[in-house]
Structure 1
Amino acid sequence: MASPQPHDDTELAIEGALRPGSLADFVGQHKVRGQLQLLLDAARIQERPADHILLAGPPGLGKTTLAMIVAHESNRPLRMSSGPAIQHAGDLAALLSSLMPGEVLFIDEIHRMARSAEEMLYLAMEDFRIDIMVGKGAGATSIPLDLAPFTLVGATTRSGLLPNPLRDRFGFTAHLEYYEPEELERVIERSAGFLGVGLGGRERAEIARRSRGTPRIANRLLRRVRDYALVHAHGAAPELGDVRAALELYDVDAIGLDRLDRAVLDALVRRFRGGPVGLSTLAVAVGEEPDTVESVVEPYLVRIGFMGRTPRGRVATPEAYAHLGVAHPLGAPGSLPIDDL
């Protein structure tokens, strides 16, 4: 018997439909959309590939979708890769030499490319040429290889890790911002239509409020609400109670904190008395890697004002105590000035 396929054609079609296909359909990021539209229109008028584009911002805000839109609106093919997959200059050379004229190359997590590949990319982006070393030692020679003109779209969640020479070669850098609840409601409304889920305004607002300003999370929570409604016989029109019950089942609270967020906050408040405490110590206390706490949990807790970063470590704010229902002790470290490390 044939093994089951992970997705049927209908599910794949829905997955593709959830991604907007044009800048006009893309919700939010108004300034970035206007800047990209101008860049693409100018390239179209001059009949040339668009300038290289760097998309920077937290995960889930639409960087991959925007790269697809750049290719679509430029009427160019799209080639996709990622920084971790390019660990040698030879990997990049093979990728670049196979590009067709005008093709859009998307490299996700571009800050994780190998340093040797980054250095090769400098020349490729500027002069559409790479130098390939043949041989070793004193007999090694450099052979120049011309490349077809292309547009590089790089995406990064940590633009500060990009070396300045690489960052400076992008003609345009877009900084994506978190979404407002009203924008997320529009994202949810559009996605619900494709998923066949009938949601009222209160239900959309409830999901948006718990989505941490991130469309990817909003779509994920919408799918879980759909599943809950189907299983519990409410069909394709979940009510507000269904939304709340589904998200409670998946440990997403009223402001979007999940199990790990609350574990970090609880450890900071109860075990370490509000801090300050070092990142590594805090990570060990919740059984996670420091990178996970720093990149996944901390940004949201800082953004909503529940955690602060001081030169001595992380501290809990009075708002964090209130959310956990813990009395705030007099003179708690959360009242200290909060400065970026």
Structure 2
Amino acid sequence: MTSQAENASDAFAKDLRPRRFQEYVGQRAVVDSISIAVMAAKKRGDTLDHALFHGPPGLGKTTISQIIARELDSQLIHTSGPALERPADVVGLLSNLKVGDVLFIDEIHRLPHAVEEYLYSAMEDFRVDFMTGSGAFAKSINLPLQPFTLIGSTTRAGMLSAPLRERFGLAYHLDFYSTEELAQVVTRSAGILEVDIDSDGALEIARRSRGTPRISNRLLRRVRDFAEVREVGTIDKTVASEALEIEGVDPLGLDRLDRLYLTTLSKNYQGGPAGIQALAATINEDQQTLEDVVEPFLLKIGFIVRTPQGRRTTPEGFEHIGLPPRLDGPTGQGTLL
């Protein structure tokens, strides 16, 4: 029993997610706004308005939702859009909620339409209406619900239906982090993992993290492994750079899939325009992965552009992979870094 307790304690200590708003790094405007809403609801003894968080993956949507539940002293019930396949699934879930519970639905844009309709009255009036029986024996049953807070998370806000989107009283877009903010994330995580790292080492990892804390923490673990195997003491810029080059992460944070996408678009399609389906087939990668994981960062740093005709490589993108740019190519959109 003692060993199990120690293992649980170690697992808790190694959890890199911040547990309170004060510990959260970045997204300052979002955190300030939602923390005020949380404190106001708690002061009134009321439930928090339903909240929607949208943005690229890995920016902290789930983490903020967990912090909200913790700050409200409420229970967090975690599910996802694809898991709620039938109306009976969501009705059962909603009927078991207690007063003040926080229901978190990840990838809420993937809710089936029939399931989504049950959320409308649940979010507005805290009740659900459903039919039992059929034909002459059919009847409508009104099931009252306890007041709760629904938090939705999505990487594709545009795929949410207007009726569902309008029922969220709070809506926030999470954007990519700056290099300085990610360096703070790396330094904090290194302290939790008991990794010795200097400011230059943390900054080098941050530069290659594509503006995403999840990637920062993943790269930190890989650099830690490298440092342990090579028996390096403090992780500095040189150690971090060497470790990440082995991982296939270049100085701008592009990994092998990013470079494959950029090279395919630039060589196979002469810089475009090319459709996403054609690119996905050529690369042999899922289309949604390219749209949700690869393209947002390449768009952000100005290496590709989306046009009505398809994707095109910018001169900056050609330069990064060592190819001469097309004379009629699009110009870049600025840089994140």
TM-score range, shorter chain: over 0.9
- Correspondence for 2:11: 12
Instruction: Please say if residues 275 and 314 of structure 1, whose CA atoms lie closer than 8 Å, have aligned partners that are also in contact.
Output: yes
For the residues of structure 2 that align with 1:213 and 1:11, how far apart are their CA atoms?
A: 28
- Correspondence for 1:23: 21
Structure 2 residue identity aligned to 1:333: G
- Correspondence for 1:291: 288
Deviation of 1:335 (Å): 4.8
Structure 1 residue identity aligned to 2:208: R
Instruction: Please say if residues 274 and 334 of structure 1, whose CA atoms lie closer than 8 Å, have aligned partners that are also in contact.
Output: no
Instruction: Please say if residues 197 and 226 of structure 1, whose CA atoms lie closer than 8 Å, have aligned partners that are also in contact.
Output: yes
Q: What's the TM-score, normalizing by structure 1?
A: 0.93
SS in 2 for 1:24: helix
Structure 1 residue identity aligned to 2:30: V
Deviation of 1:121 (Å): 0.4
Deviation of 1:241 (Å): 2.2
Equivalent residue runs for 1:283-322 within 5 Å: 283-322=280-319
SS in 1 for 2:23: coil
Deviation of 1:289 (Å): 2.1
Counterpart selection for 2:330 from 324, 331, 334: 334
Instruction: Please say if residues 276 and 333 of structure 1, whose CA atoms lie closer than 8 Å, have aligned partners that are also in contact.
Output: no
Which segments of 5 or more consecutive residues in structure 2 lack a partner in the other structure? none
Instruction: Please say if residues 184 and 208 of structure 1, whose CA atoms lie closer than 8 Å, have aligned partners that are also in contact.
Output: yes
Counterpart selection for 1:134 from 108, 132, 141: 132
Give me the CA root mean square deviation.
1.8
- Correspondence for 1:203: 201
Instruction: Please say if residues 315 and 332 of structure 2, whose CA atoms lie closer than 8 Å, have aligned partners that are also in contact.
Output: no
Deviation of 1:261 (Å): 0.5
Residues 138-180 of structure 1 show CA distances to partners (whole Å, capped at 9, x for unaligned) of 4211111111111111111111111111111111111111111
For these two proteins, the number of residue pairs brought into alignment is 329
Sequence identity (%): 48
- Correspondence for 1:38: 36
For the residues of structure 2 that align with 1:253 and 1:336, how far apart are their CA atoms?
A: 20
Residues 40-83 of structure 1 show CA distances to partners (whole Å, capped at 9, x for unaligned) of 11111211111111111111111111111111111111111111
Deviation of 1:238 (Å): 2.1
- Correspondence for 2:185: 187
- Correspondence for 2:322: 325
Equivalent residue runs for 1:43-192 within 5 Å: 43-192=41-190
Equivalent residue runs for 1:209-288 within 5 Å: 209-235=207-233, 237-288=234-285
For the residues of structure 1 that align with 2:14 and 2:146, how far apart are their CA atoms?
A: 32
SS in 2 for 1:255: coil
Instruction: Please say if residues 178 and 214 of structure 1, whose CA atoms lie closer than 8 Å, have aligned partners that are also in contact.
Output: yes
Residues 109 and 15 of structure 1, relative CA distance in 2, 3 Å threshold? farther
Instruction: Please say if residues 55 and 63 of structure 1, whose CA atoms lie closer than 8 Å, have aligned partners that are also in contact.
Output: yes
Instruction: Please say if residues 274 and 332 of structure 1, whose CA atoms lie closer than 8 Å, have aligned partners that are also in contact.
Output: no
For the residues of structure 2 that align with 1:104 and 1:130, how far apart are their CA atoms?
A: 17
Structure 2 residue identity aligned to 1:91: D
SS in 1 for 2:271: coil
SS in 1 for 2:40: helix
For the residues of structure 2 that align with 1:21 and 1:335, how far apart are their CA atoms?
A: 42
SS in 2 for 1:334: coil
Residues 15 and 95 of structure 1, relative CA distance in 2, 3 Å threshold? farther
For the residues of structure 2 that align with 1:298 and 1:8, how far apart are their CA atoms?
A: 39
